[in-house]
């Protein structure tokens, strides 16, 4: 088994924690609330500020950060050969499908597996790290351009996914709390819409981020192979620039009352551009401060979360769906209260991870994933 890169584990754990800051609203509120704080009328001041801060700090940033790390992981897997990579990604895709249909409609695993199957050959055939990064930027910008085009051609009248009526909100609450076959049917409907979005627009961005990550890994950037001054310059340039691009767009969403065409499409463009830059700056900051933070116990804990990233991602779903759907706390909290619950879920992640890694070298889902990959690839699983 290849030695792990501690900084990558830390960044991966940080991304898993950061993703929950946005996912928590998707667990506890109707689907429309994820991007539209005015889904049920004018939001409160607390809701507005919580949405704005999360949009600046987290929305899209940790997903892009995780996508780049995923792409970097694809590059590291190349020596295993095509059969191993295809099997590994196919099993991830299947895991995502089961997760999206049986547990939660906000799954990202299926899209990562699907786009990974498309991208890994591009990672393998890339002539250089610069060509991978350049191709990734082009693909990402195509996705952003498609988003802008959809905004220009879309109907100004919002659908129920953006502005649901009281009956639709009530029905969503009904099937989420009831569960069973009716919930599965609704999750399948949402999954079909998600797949269309991946094929038309989001998949371009995801593929771009993965190729950028593979290029950064190939160059040694994601291995910490550059001078600290380089990472410091990257963060000093990209972080302020990303905020300069995004904050006016966030303010304009507020000023337009979260108008469907503007807030759903056109004003998302600055955020999509800024998110990629901000994700890179977050990664750069990890390397800038690594000599200092690597000695902290908290850093070691977050790194352990990264070692069990898939297990912890699925554990967050189990915790949140149990709390909100089975225990019935769905739609009982506003945005700020939901964010206040996030550290409790993080604590559960940490407790399970610390206890598990005392006895085992990898998470249970990671172990099963590796076992099934070896069987599907026709290889003997090595335990050393």
* Two structure tokens written together for 57: 């700090």
Say if CB 343 and CB 24 are below 8 A apart.
no
- Given a cut of 80, whether residue 380 has pLDDT beyond it is no
Nearest Cα to Cα of residue 116 among 69, 70, 63, 60: 70
pLDDT digits (tens, 9 = 90+) for 255-267: 999 999 999 999 9
Looking at the chain, list the stretches that DSSP marks H as alpha helix, in order from N- to C-terminal side: 6-28, 45-57, 61-77, 82-98, 109-125, 129-153, 166-178, 180-197, 203-219, 228-255, 260-261, 268-293, 297-307, 309-321, 335-357, 364-377
Say if CB 84 and CB 379 are below 8 A apart.
yes
Question: What's the chain's length in residues?
Answer: 384
Alpha-carbon separation of residue 207 from 15, 119, 217, 297 (angstroms): 18, 6, 15, 34
> What per-residue confidence (pLDDT) applies to 159?
83
> What per-residue confidence (pLDDT) applies to 1?
46
Say if CB 153 and CB 278 are below 8 A apart.
no
pLDDT digits (tens, 9 = 90+) for 334-350: 999 999 999 999 999 99
Say if CB 269 and CB 148 are below 8 A apart.
yes
- The pLDDT confidence band at residue 176, using thresholds 50, 70 and 90, is very high
- Given a cut of 80, whether residue 94 has pLDDT beyond it is yes
Mean pLDDT calculated for residue range 279-297? 96
pLDDT digits (tens, 9 = 90+) for 32-55: 999 899 999 999 999 999 999 999
> What per-residue confidence (pLDDT) applies to 283?
98
Question: Which region among 82-96, 143-157, 369-383 has the lowest average model confidence (pLDDT)?
Answer: 369-383
Mean pLDDT calculated for residue range 289-311? 96
- Given a cut of 90, whether residue 189 has pLDDT beyond it is yes
- Given a cut of 70, whether residue 381 has pLDDT beyond it is no
Supply the Cα-derived Rg of the chain in whole angstroms.
20
CA distance 246 to 304: 32
Identify the residue with better confidence: 7 or 156: 7
- Given a cut of 80, whether residue 225 has pLDDT beyond it is yes
CA distance 26 to 19: 11
Write phi, then psi, for 41 (nearest 5 degrees): 115, -175
**Would you put residue 331 in left (φ > 0), alpha (ψ -120 to 50) or beta?**
left
- Given a cut of 60, whether residue 384 has pLDDT beyond it is no
Nearest Cα to Cα of residue 137 among 202, 203, 69, 212: 212
Nearest Cα to Cα of residue 140 among 192, 63, 32: 63
- The pLDDT confidence band at residue 328, using thresholds 50, 70 and 90, is very high
Mean pLDDT calculated for residue range 184-195? 95
Mean pLDDT calculated for residue range 77-91? 96
CA distance 250 to 51: 10
Say how many C-beta atoms besides its own lie within 10 A of residue 45's C-beta: 7
- Given a cut of 90, whether residue 161 has pLDDT beyond it is no
- Given a cut of 80, whether residue 383 has pLDDT beyond it is no
Mean pLDDT calculated for residue range 88-98? 97
CA distance 46 to 38: 12
- Given a cut of 80, whether residue 220 has pLDDT beyond it is yes
> Which positions ≥6 away from 66 have C-beta within 8 Å?
12, 15, 16, 19, 108
| DSSP-derived secondary structure letter, 78 | G
Question: In sequence order, what DSSP letters do the residues of 34-56 get, joined into one string?
Answer: GT-TTBTBSPPHHHHHHHHHHHH
CA distance 249 to 269: 9
What mean pLDDT value characterizes the chain? 95
**Would you put residue 363 in left (φ > 0), alpha (ψ -120 to 50) or beta?**
beta
Mean pLDDT calculated for residue range 13-42? 95
- The pLDDT confidence band at residue 92, using thresholds 50, 70 and 90, is very high
Mean pLDDT calculated for residue range 179-190? 96
Mean pLDDT calculated for residue range 272-298? 96
Question: In sequence order, what DSSP letters do the residues of 236-295 get, joined into one string?
Answer: HHHHHHHHHHHHHHHHHHHHTTS-HHIIIIITHHHHHHHHHHHHHHHHHHHHHHHHHHTT
pLDDT digits (tens, 9 = 90+) for 241-256: 999 999 999 999 999 9
> What per-residue confidence (pLDDT) applies to 157?
86
Mean pLDDT calculated for residue range 85-99? 97
């Amino acid at each position: 088994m290849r030695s792990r890169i501690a900084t990558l584990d830390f960044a991966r754990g940080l991304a898993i924690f950061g993703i929950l800051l946005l996912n928590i609203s998707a667990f506890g509120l109707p689907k429309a609330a994820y991007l539209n704080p005015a889904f049920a009328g004018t939001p409160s001041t607390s809701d507005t500020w919580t949405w704005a801060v999360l949009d600046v700090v987290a929305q899209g940033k940790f997903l892009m950060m995780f996508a780049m790390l995923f792409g970097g992981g694809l590059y590291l897997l190349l020596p295993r050969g095509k059969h191993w990579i295809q099997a590994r990604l196919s099993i991830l895709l299947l895991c995502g499908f089961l997760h999206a249909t049986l547990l939660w409609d906000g799954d990202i695993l299926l899209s990562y597996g699907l786009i990974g199957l498309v991208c890994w050959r591009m990672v393998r055939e890339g002539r250089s790290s610069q060509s991978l990064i350049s191709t990734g930027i082009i693909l990402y910008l195509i996705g952003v351009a498609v988003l802008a085009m959809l905004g220009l051609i879309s109907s100004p009248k919002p659908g129920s996914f953006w502005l649901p009526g009281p009956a639709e909100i009530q029905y969503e609450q009904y099937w989420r709390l009831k569960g069973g076959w009716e919930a599965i049917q609704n999750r399948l409907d949402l999954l079909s819409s998600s797949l269309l979005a991946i094929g038309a627009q989001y998949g371009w961005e995801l593929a771009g981020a993965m190729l950028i990550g593979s290029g950064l890994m190939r160059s040694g950037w994601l291995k910490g192979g550059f001078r600290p001054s380089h990472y410091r310059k990257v963060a000093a340039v990209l972080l302020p620039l990303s905020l300069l691009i995004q904050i006016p767009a966030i303010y304009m969403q507020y000023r337009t009352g979260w108008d469907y065409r503007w807030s759903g499409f056109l004003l998302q463009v600055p955020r999509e551009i800024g998110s990629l830059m901000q994700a890179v700056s977050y990664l750069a900051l990890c390397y800038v401060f690594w000599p200092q933070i690597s000695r902290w116990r908290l850093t070691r804990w977050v790194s352990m979360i990264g070692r069990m990233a898939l297990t912890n991602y699925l554990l967050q779903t189990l915790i949140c769906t149990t709390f909100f759907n089975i225990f019935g706390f769905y739609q009982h909290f506003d945005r700020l209260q939901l964010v206040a619950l996030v550290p409790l879920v993080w604590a559960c992640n940490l407790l399970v991870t610390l206890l598990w890694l005392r006895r085992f070298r990898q998470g249970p889902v990671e172990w099963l994933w590796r076992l099934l990959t070896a069987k599907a690839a026709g290889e003997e699983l090595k335990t050393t």
